[in-house]
Structure 1
Amino acid sequence: MANVLRVLTRVMGWACVAIGLYHVLLGNAAIPGAGSAGPTIDSWGRFMGASFVGYGLAWLWAARQRPVPARAVRWLAGIFLLGGVGRLLSLAEHGRPHWFQIVLTVLELALPPVFFWLADAEERPRRGGTEAAAAGR
């Protein structure tokens, strides 16, 4: 399970960095249906893209730690889940968005429980070993 956590954490980090850079570079053209949204939405989208790059870098930082810190994984997964909840609120208030946004919503709601479950996969064996060693003394 520890290897699965490490791989998923890296994939999440690189995906977020790539998506964020895509939005920074393309602005409105990166958002389905927003090509003519104007300069305000373009500015906001590029800013949010840069923020998403930072979010991806936080995932990559977590993936490089030994062990992968469960607390960081849970926080990062919680932020991702919050994004999915935001999309659900938008769906409820404004109706169905572009089909790709629905796919993203499903990912944002489905992946966090996986990360919550795997979060302490690397820390658990170390804690167990330490507790067992302490009990044996």
Structure 2
Amino acid sequence: MAGLLKWLALAMGTACAGIGVLHFALGIDSVPGEAAAGATVDSRERFYGAVFLGYGLAWIWAARQTPIPARVVRWLAGIFLLGGLGRLLSMAVHGSPQWFQTALTVVELALPPLYFWLAAADERAVAARPSPRRAERVLP
């Protein structure tokens, strides 16, 4: 499970960091159907791009830890889930967005439960392993 969690966390971090760089660099041109939105939306898009870059880097940091900190994975996955719930709220208020945004909503709602499950499984596996400190106490 640890290998799968590490791989998925690295993939998530790389994807989010890349998306953040893209949105930061392109502004509103990175969002389908928003090219004419104006300076205010472009400014917001570039700001969110920087935040999403940082979010991706947090995933990469977590994936590089040994063991991967389950609490951090849960927080990051929870934030991702909250983003998907925000998209659902937007759909309820404003209707269906461009098709790619709908596809992203599915990903944002489907992946967090997988991360929650993997983090819990990895946490249990780490707890079950004998630690060097426990072994030292047992030795005479």
TM-score category by the smaller chain? Answer: over 0.9
Q: Give the TM-score normalised by structure 2.
A: 0.91
The answer to whether residue 45 in structure 2 is matched with residue 45 in structure 1 is: yes
The answer to whether residue 32 in structure 2 is matched with residue 32 in structure 1 is: yes
Q: Contact 1:74–1:116 at 8 Å: present in 2 too?
A: yes
Distance 1:8 1:53 in 2: 17
1:13-24 to structure 2, matched below 5 A, reads 13-24=13-24
**1:53 Cα deviation from its structure 2 partner:** 0.2
The match for 2:119 is 119
SS of structure 2 residue aligned to 1:97: coil
Could you list the per-position Cα deviations for residues 8-61 of structure 1 after superposition, in whole angstroms to 9, with x for gaps in the alignment? 000000000000000001001100111000000000000000000000000000
**1:125 Cα deviation from its structure 2 partner:** 2.1
SS of structure 2 residue aligned to 1:118: helix
Q: Contact 1:69–1:120 at 8 Å: present in 2 too?
A: no
Q: Contact 1:20–1:49 at 8 Å: present in 2 too?
A: yes
**1:128 Cα deviation from its structure 2 partner:** 1.1
Q: CA RMSD in A?
A: 1.5
Q: Contact 1:20–1:50 at 8 Å: present in 2 too?
A: yes
**Displacement over 4 Å in runs of 4+:** none
The match for 2:98 is 98
Identity of aligned pairs, percent?
60
Could you list the per-position Cα deviations for residues 46-81 of structure 1 after superposition, in whole angstroms to 9, with x for gaps in the alignment? 000000000000000000100000000000000000
Question: Partner amino acid for 1:101?
Answer: Q
Distance 1:79 1:122 in 2: 20
Runs of at least 5 residues in structure 1 that lack an aligned partner in the other structure: none
Q: Give the TM-score normalised by structure 1.
A: 0.93
**1:121 Cα deviation from its structure 2 partner:** 3.7
The match for 1:4 is 4
The match for 1:72 is 72
Question: Partner amino acid for 2:18?
Answer: A
Runs of at least 5 residues in structure 2 that lack an aligned partner in the other structure: none
Q: How many residues align?
A: 134
**1:126 Cα deviation from its structure 2 partner:** 2.5
The match for 1:62 is 62
